[in-house]
Amino acid sequence: MFAQVIQGRTGDAVALWNRLEEWDRSLKPGAAGFLGATSGVSDDGEFITIARFETEEAARTNSDRPEQGEWWAETEKLFEGEVRFYDSPEVDVSLGGGSDDSGFVQVIQGRVKDKQRLRELEVEAEAWMQENRPDFVGSVRAWQDDEFSDFIYFTSEEEARIGEKKEVPPEMGSEEEWSDLMGDMKFIDLRKPFFSSP
C-alpha cells in the first residue's frame, strides 16, 4: 500500500467539501489502484486527507492525469498559505484500517524514536482495544521516515472520549514509556469526516 497525505488551512470548509464530492463523482472512476481516502477539516480550519493506493505507480499515474491537475488547480484556491504533501510507501494498518461508517476520526501526528518498539507495544494494544474499546474501529498510519500521520477511526466522538478514560494494562507500556517513545505530538479532530471508497 502507498499513501499520500495532504495538509493545509482553509477558511471555507463547505466549499472544500464540495470539491471533494466533485472528485468523488467525476475523477474517482478513472483513478486506477485507488483504495480509498479519508478527509476532513478541524474546528480551527486545518484540512488533512490521506489517500491510499495499491502502489506508488498508481498514485503517480493518478496525479499525472490532466483532469486531476485541473481539479487541483481550482481546489488549491481554497487554501490559505502553504499546502503540504507527504508521500508514504510505508503504511501501518490496524484492524484492517478504518471504516466509512466511523463517526469521528482523530489524526495524530508526531515523531517516534523507535518504530520497532512502537509496533511491539501496539500488538498488545490492538488485542486489548478489540476487547475493551468497541468505539475503536481501526487505524491507518502513514510514515515519513520517523514522522507519522495516524488516522484513527471511532464509532463517535462521544464514545471515543468515554473510551479513552479506561485504564490500560501495564503490558501495553507505561505512560512514561509512551511519552519517551513519541514526541512533537499534534492532534487533529475530524468531527465531520469525508470518506471516499473505490
- Give pLDDT, residue 153: 97
| pTM listed for this prediction | 0.93
**Boundary of a domain, candidates 71, 89, 107:** 89
Among 48, 70, 89, give the residue marking a domain's end: 89
Mark whether 65 and 129 lie in a shared domain: no
Give how many domains the chain has, as a whole number. 2
The pLDDT, as a whole number, for residue 196 is 97
Residues 118 and 150 placed together within one structural domain of the fold: yes
Please report, in tens digits, the pLDDT of each residue of the chain (198 residues total). 999 999 999 999 999 999 999 999 999 999 999 999 999 999 999 999 999 999 999 999 999 999 999 999 999 999 999 999 999 999 999 988 889 999 999 999 999 999 998 988 888 888 888 899 999 999 999 999 999 999 999 999 999 999 999 888 777 777 788 888 999 999 999 999 999 999
Domain boundary among 72, 89, 106: 89
Quote the radius of gyration of the chain (alpha carbons, Å).
Answer: 17
At residue 101, what are phi and psi to the nearest 5 degrees? -85, -5
Contact 68/85 with Cβ under 8 angstroms? no
Q: Tell me what pLDDT residue 144 has.
A: 94
Same domain, 97 and 64: no
Distance CA 51, CA 56 (A): 11
φ/ψ of 135, rounded to 5, equals -75, -20
**pLDDT tens-place string over residues 127-169:** 888 899 999 999 999 999 999 999 999 999 999 999 999 888 7
pLDDT on residue 27: 97
DSSP 3-state assignment of 96? Answer: coil
Domain containing 103 equals 91-192
d(CA 30, CA 65): 9
**Same domain, residue pair 79 and 26:** yes
- Is residue 198, in this structure, part of any structural domain at all? no
Do 8 and 83 reside in the same domain of the chain? yes
CATH number at residue 13: 3.30.70.100
Q: What percent of the chain is modeled with pLDDT above 70?
A: 100
Whether 197 is in a domain gets the answer no
For residues 10 and 73, membership in a common domain is answered with yes
The full length of the chain comes to 198
Domain assignment of residue 142, yes or no: yes
With respect to residue 13, please indicate whether it lies within any of the assigned structural domains: yes
